[in-house]
Amino acid sequence: MINQLIENIKRTKAPIVVGLDPMLSYVPEQVQKAAFQEFGETLEGAAEAIWQFNKAIVDATYDLIPAVKPQIAMYEQFGVPGLAAYEKTVSYCQQKGLVVVGDIKRGDIGSTSEAYAIGHLGHVQVGSKSYAGFHEDFATINPYMGSDAVNPFIKVCKEEKKGLFVLVKTSNPSSGDFQDRLVDGRPLYELVGEKVAQWGDSFMGDSYSYVGAVVGATYPEQGKALRKIMPHAMILVPGYGAQGGQGKDLVHFFNEDGLGAIVNSSRGIIAAYRQEAYARFGAEHFADASRAAVEAMTADIQGALEAAK
Amino acid sequence: MINQLIENIKRTKAPIVVGLDPMLSYVPEQVQKAAFQEFGETLEGAAEAIWQFNKAIVDATYDLIPAVKPQIAMYEQFGVPGLAAYEKTVSYCQQKGLVVVGDIKRGDIGSTSEAYAIGHLGHVQVGSKSYAGFHEDFATINPYMGSDAVNPFIKVCKEEKKGLFVLVKTSNPSSGDFQDRLVDGRPLYELVGEKVAQWGDSFMGDSYSYVGAVVGATYPEQGKALRKIMPHAMILVPGYGAQGGQGKDLVHFFNEDGLGAIVNSSRGIIAAYRQEAYARFGAEHFADASRAAVEAMTADIQGALEAAK
């Protein structure tokens, strides 16, 4: 899957991933209305609304992008019907040739991490049959519990040729509370980055590892240091756009081959129609606004990468 | 809910929580067979099997215990039908008067943590209606992303009078990879413990805080230090039994009032019938074996607490 991801990035010339993180408030009224007419103002109705919203955005952008990153929390808030919409979204994106990064940030003790790994990236045995519950291609994971929380994910990924992005330095303002604390004079996130490099060395694709990292766009200097610590890790970079990151902040996340990072934007793409820059599309043509926002983001990052050459 | 939890502990005299973490391999053949006959060897069949297994164990033990802790990963591995069985288990346990700790270990940037908090502990708005997706009473959360990952959970808990257990020092062997790293000469888990104490001080029940902590039974010395750092935190203690912890290791997790900790056992209770000590019950009476294991665990911990007086 890491090779597939890189192939998709090369083909689209867009090192970006669209965060399919639908708040119900992002979904235009006509889409909500249609869903509620069919299912009522219920969890099923909300799930149908976000699924139709996602589908329209994917249909309008899939040829321009290599990957999507649905944030499972946004579905989980609608309970079981929400998670059914999540699974449907994963399937649909895969049918469209997109690589799907499940932003699940799971992590637990060994046997429990294994269950998460099986549910999201692997197959579970039921009697004589086996099933892939959520079947994402990559998943984000939380390393706070240490190696034995991560190893079961790596094991399942090796069986399934799937990949991981391990949280190293997250994009949020208080990520420093623990991640920046100095251990032997060095911030904790660097130690986590070293572990990611170790985990990744044993599980390489053609040029990048199946074990990647999450490093926030909002911390470009840290990105520079971590790029060196984890030379073979694909870095998933959240925090572009709405969270404050810009193209010029991102160049240090990339390697000299122009690869090695994939930048996420969620709200900036999926709710583009609500921004002044794309207001001309109106709520009716929200998916076209998303397409224009993808084009602008790709140009911004490509431009920054060109300028840095 | 923290007051309810303490009332339940006082009533049952059992500071324990049963981990409803069903592996399909724990479910006796007759239960699996009945489920597969109805739903086939499908995810729905597996979900039905674990639900019937849970129900039998809850029916056999609910009068002896204050709380249960379903581990959501064990359900998530069976995809959407698995999560429907999770929700059904939560509802059933609540009907039986049990406090339900959702072992979900979520944590993300602010708006995403808020979605998790809403989905698991709060209510989500759908048009003019509102719904509680998974409606646990407490949830475990992962602090690696810092305060702004935790605050949305606290906000929702304040609205709903529900509680949290924040991972501080987990029970697994490699929990030390990052949690034990020294920051200014002190292990990271102590800094996290201090944050838990701070978060908790602003949100007290009658005698304990709504913000508790997870500290593994496998680390009794660390438990002793953390007990002092977080005097008002209820400590959820995993790792008893199958993971190696014993009653005598646990006394330092408690306060002098005999409260302040709640000890989890999962496999040791729900798969008791497979242990030599309870083999006499046989697979047919697996739930009675669980009841006997609950009685033995309560006696072990009560005995250790008495001996330490």
The pLDDT tens digits for A211-241 are 999 999 999 999 999 999 999 999 999 988 7
pLDDT for residue A125: 97
Q: Among A249-253, B96-100, B228-232, which is the least confidently predicted range?
A: A249-253
Mean pLDDT for B167-177 is 93
Residue A80 lies in a domain: yes
The half-sphere exposure of A128 on its side-chain side, counting CA atoms within 13 A, is 2
Least CB–CB distance from A46: residue in B116, B126, B149? B126
Asked if pLDDT for residue A22 goes beyond 80, the answer is yes
CA distances from A128 to A99, A125, B30, B40, B42 (A): 29, 7, 16, 10, 10
Number of structural domains, chain A?
A: 1
* pLDDT class of B97 with cuts at 50, 70, 90: very high
Mean pLDDT for B295-305 is 94
Residue A111 lies in a domain: no
Q: Residue A77 belongs to what domain range?
A: 2-103+120-308
Least CB–CB distance from B74: residue in A115, A170, A188? A115
Kindly report the CA angle at B217 between B214 and B221, in degrees rounded to 5? Answer: 95
Asked if pLDDT for residue B102 goes beyond 70, the answer is yes
Q: Which DSSP symbol is given to A109? A: S
Q: How many CB atoms lie within 10 A of CB B3?
A: 14
- Residue-wise DSSP of B90-147: HHHHHHTT-EEEEEEEE--SHHHHHHHHHHHHS-EEETTEEE-SS--SEEEE--TT-H
At A133, list the tokens.
Answer: 């519950």
Which residues of A are less than 8 Å from B131 in CB distance?
42-43, 78-79
Summarised one tens digit per residue, pLDDT across range B19-44 is 999 999 999 999 999 999 999 999 99
Mean pLDDT for B97-116 is 96
* pLDDT class of B245 with cuts at 50, 70, 90: low
- The angle, 0 to 180 degrees and rounded to 10, between the axes of the packed helices A79-95 and B79-95 is 170
pLDDT for residue B295: 97
Asked if pLDDT for residue B249 goes beyond 90, the answer is no
Range list of H helices, A130-266: 147-160, 176-179, 188-201, 220-229
CATH number at residue A48: 3.20.20.70
Residue A115 lies in a domain: no
Per the CB < 8 A criterion, the answer to whether B26 and B274 are in contact is yes
**In what side-by-side order are the strands of the sheet with B186-187?**
A186-187, A182-183, B182-183, B186-187
Least CB–CB distance from B87: residue in A21, A80, A109? A80
* pLDDT class of A295 with cuts at 50, 70, 90: very high
Task: Spell out where chain B has E strands.
Answer: 16-18, 67-68, 99-106, 124-126, 129-131, 138-141, 163-169, 182-183, 186-187, 211-215, 235-237, 261-265
Q: How many CB atoms lie within 10 A of CB B125?
A: 15
Residue entry with tokens 């592996």: B23
What's the CA dihedral at B100, B115, B197, A192 to 10 degrees? 110
H or E segment and range at residue A261? strand A261-265
Task: Please indicate whether residue B158 is annotated as part of the active site.
Answer: no
Contacts of residue A41, defined as CB under 8 A and 6 or more positions apart, other chains included, come to B126, B127, B128, B129
Residue A114 lies in a domain: no
Summarised one tens digit per residue, pLDDT across range B178-222 is 999 999 899 999 999 999 999 999 999 999 999 999 999 999 999
CB-CB under 8 Å, B42 with A129:
yes
* pLDDT class of B309 with cuts at 50, 70, 90: confident
Helix (H, G, I), strand (E, B) or coil at B237: strand
At B268, list the tokens.
Answer: 């040791």
CB-CB under 8 Å, B108 with A133:
no
Asked if pLDDT for residue A245 goes beyond 70, the answer is no
pLDDT for residue A65: 98
Mean pLDDT for B109-118 is 96
Which residues of A are less than 8 Å from B79 in CB distance?
87, 119, 124, 131-134
The single residue of A55, A88, A105, A248 carrying the catalytic annotation is A105
